[in-house]
Amino acid sequence: MRAALEQALAGLGPIAVAVSGGVDSLTLATIAHRAASEQPRQEPPLMVHAVSPAVPGEATERVRAEAAREGWRLRVIEAGEFADPAYRENPVNRCFFCKTNLYGAIRRVTDRQMVSGANLDDLGEYRPGLDAAREHGVRHPFVEAQFSKAMVRALARDLGLGAVAELPAAPCLSSRVETGIRIEPETLAFIHAVERLVGEDLAETGPKRAVRCRVRAAGIVVELDAQSLAGLTEPAKIDLGRRIAARAPDRLAAAPVSFAPYRTGSAFLVGSAR
């Protein structure tokens, strides 16, 4: 399968890899760079990482660290989606506007073939970002080589990427905001701060587990995996809730804080399409 991936990459010509800082894009960037370095006539790929309030700082740090370690050609750009009113309104297809701005920003710095880290698992979900990719002619080498998420992780381990191979799924911070609630930079900064706070508390009692801070119309909901939620006593919830409320921006100052089981994509409300 690795040979099929390298063949797919070789057939694309000079490429620009959209690197978010997650396991998929980092693995794709690594294999593309290493494969090109073994072919003297093949131009090394350009890695492009976009920063925005929706991208955690740790992701950018991870990309820069891997770029330095591997010797990538890296461009860090502004994604620009926060200048787009359609994105800020947070409709059901928000990701379409996010990726439209991302690919437009990449196209402004290079005319290379753009590629993403999408894999077969992504095709089974509602991913409006893939529609934006199609409109911009973006290719998905993992899909073309028939790689699932598990296969991407296995490849990352085979490439010696260590902790990168075990990175949990980490969609952008805007995915934590319930559909229809306007996306604000200060809201995303709060969400990130809460997830770090809760994650650090959980790390004291065991390995880091699932933590999502959802901003909903009904209030702030911290979603945890079953084991973490079961181990959180009522006094601990009260204490944690107070610390979370103390970090809330003005618009969320009066919002109640609650805890619930983790559900993938639970802030996404299909019925809220506009």
Closest CA to 5 of 185, 107, 152, 171: 152
Nearest to 174 by CA among 245, 98, 239, 106: 98
User: Looking at residue 184, what is its pLDDT?
Assistant: 97
Residue 135 tokens, joined: 């409109």
The model's confidence at residue 274, banded by pLDDT at 50, 70 and 90, is very low
- Bridge partner list, 177: 215
> Is 80 exceeded by the pLDDT of residue 272?
no
Cα separation of 269 and 218, whole Å? 14
CA dist list (Å): 242 to 54, 194, 247, 261: 25, 11, 9, 20
Q: Closest Cα to residue 174, out of 87, 272, 104?
A: 87
Q: Are 208 and 243 in contact (CB under 8 A)?
A: no
Token pair listed for 118: 């999408």
- Res. 273 pLDDT band, cuts 50 70 90: very low
User: What is the fold of 173-261?
Assistant: Alpha-Beta Plaits (3.30.70)
CATH match of 1-166 with 3.40.50.620: yes
> Which pLDDT tens digit goes with each residue over 219-240?
999 999 999 999 999 999 999 9
What confidence score (pLDDT) does residue 206 get? 54
How far apart (Å, rounded) are the C-alpha atoms in residues 214 and 267? Answer: 7
**Taking 70 as the threshold, does the pLDDT of residue 93 lie above it?**
yes
**Residues of the chain with pLDDT > 90: what percent?**
82
Residues pairing with 260 in the sheet:
223
Instruction: Indicate the domain borders of the chain.
Output: 1-166, 173-261
Helix 149-158 / helix 2-10 crossing angle, nearest 10 deg: 90
Q: pLDDT tens-digit profile of 158-168?
A: 999 989 999 98
What is the helix (H) or strand (E) element at residue 114, kind and residue range? Answer: strand 113-115
User: Tens digit of pLDDT for each residue in 40-66?
Assistant: 778 999 999 999 999 999 999 999 999
Strands of 113-115's sheet, edge to edge? Answer: 73-78, 46-51, 15-18, 113-115
Model confidence pLDDT, tens digit, residues 111-124: 999 999 999 999 98
Show the tokens assigned to 166.
């075990």
Q: Mean pLDDT, the chain, as a whole number?
A: 92
Q: What is the pLDDT of residues 190-224, one digit of tens each?
A: 999 999 999 888 876 555 578 999 999 999 999 99
Tell me the two tokens of residue 93: 């297809």
Is residue 247 helix, strand or coil?
A: coil
Give the residue among 213, 212, 220, 215 at the shortest CA–CA distance from 184. Answer: 215
Q: Decide: 66 and 72 in contact? Cβ < 8 Å.
A: yes
- Under the banding of pLDDT at 50, 70 and 90, the label for residue 157 is very high
| pTM (2 d.p.) | 0.91
Give the model confidence (pLDDT) of 163-191 as tens digits. Answer: 999 998 888 999 999 999 999 999 999 99
